[in-house]
Structure 1
């Protein structure tokens, strides 16, 4: 594309505008650029991924070739000096930051060099000050365009990663939900062999020669009937076919599970849990929801990095609601991120060098935790406490969590 544009430019200058320029040298520079392209295409395998270093070399060669051509037709006095932005734009869109800086620096250096080392623009003699100013303007354009594209690419990559993480979490939930259908299929498939076992056991009981054999056969009949009853429940209501003891827990057990991974995370911070409730209101047992435990474990992990000395995980209940809250005594949420907290890539976590856990935050933890809690019916809020500290709270209607 660049070679084609250069050829079109020279044709327009020579035959359209009839400017006087060293077209023989210009043609040689364009031919050299075309030759580099042809050689690269010839020696390079068709299916491969170009490395960052090779990409930098290729883009810098393009910049040098463009600059040589521009030096022959006016340098920065030529409006087509803007073509130097093209390789930098490509680098900003596809390469990491360090290679981008290299390409940008080469393009900027060549822009300023063209302000003082070039043949005069055909038929026009511009002062050095103007040409230097044009060079500076081109450098500013390179910086602005590269920065804008780089930011857009980084934000797009971050959002794509956030969506991938969320889709992974949701896919896991879908797989868990699919177990209900699997249970129904298993109930259907196991029904026939259990019926056969029941019939054979009844025949054994009827023809038993000794009391012991008859007792064993009756036990088989009873156990087969029990299995059939379990399968009927699986087929009819698979979501209820769970371990009732494991699938329910008290609020105290919930907050203990939340703080357990972080109880000894730091010698400087004490992590405690309490449960309080309204007077004369029965303490509820709730359904075990992995989303809730995961989300509040994330909030506590974040609080460990910011708290001065204490983190309190509290569960409160009354006749209508259940509230779980994480409160620390740190500096609180920064004002500029408080309004957007819970969105992807909004974070106040310190870097690894200042973090107690050594974790560098990306802002995905709060986003995923908030999303999971809201899927359970919670209303999630973030605010700063007085006189200091951050508070993360989730409130449910009691009927949404309580085991009846």
Structure 2
């Protein structure tokens, strides 16, 4: 569209110059007021096209078709007022046809061809007669000179236009190739992550077996009486514990929950400790924690769940360093955690694509993975994460809200009670 606007300004300059030369140099009588009116309409249309371009850089095929259609109609009007098909500049229609073939969809190009054909046929019958001083034959003939000028104009403008369009196409192809390369790299990373996650799951069973065996060895007399063997068992246990931590970190990065890293506590203790730790170590100037949970319920919290809440709070603090709020409530076996801030809120495209990786306004590696991790962990525990923007008193976006809901059954601590010969889980 920008190239068409530039080409249209050149057409305006060319038409004004041609009218001046024809009228004052060649002394050809032309309906100048009517021709200048068409040029004024072309200028007005080009100004409107420029304003439209500045509003949005996305242009549809229909808009391009309409722009070329207007150019054809304007050219037809000028040719109608200056001799119709007797005017050597009739071949400027080829410029419109070739440009449409480059820019438009196939059906649109055929429409332009049909329109220009009808216009040429009509100009052969309907036009304002103009007396041309043809002069001598050959190169000195005015009609031949007009044909040569028309050919030079067509060739020059097409060369200019095609070079610019080709540069745009090459830039687009280079960008598309870069995006494909990035997609291939990200797909490779995802495959590596899946492989690592699968390997971590597979290693869990043999490591647990080794942990049980080493625990039995620690209590066997033949090992406890031998100081050297006991020290070696301690080293083996330390290395085994390190392997477990590595596997836990791998599963944590993919949103998996691993029971080995769970800790027994109570709901209020966990939330109060988490809020205190986060508030003391994070940059939010004002951190508000509201705990509306009255009953202190025994629960088991995994480190991944703690990291999930940290990620949401960290994102809120980055968007709103001045104020972050965490609100906890419990109702009908559902734990609800709501994090709010007073930042710019989520972009519309982020709200529609929420839960997918790399959806973030932060332009750096790892962007969007925090919320992706939170959604994944909540989903695996049977819960969900909802995001929204809330309005302030003026009706504008006043900040973002992230609500995490988890079924209490996923984290509730079960204890065994013996009654007679039967054992019950409470």
| TM-score interval, smaller chain | 0.3 to 0.5
Considering only CA atoms, is the larger Rg found in Structure 1 or Structure 2? 2
TM-score of the pair, normalised by structure 1: 0.47
TM-score of the pair, normalised by structure 2: 0.45
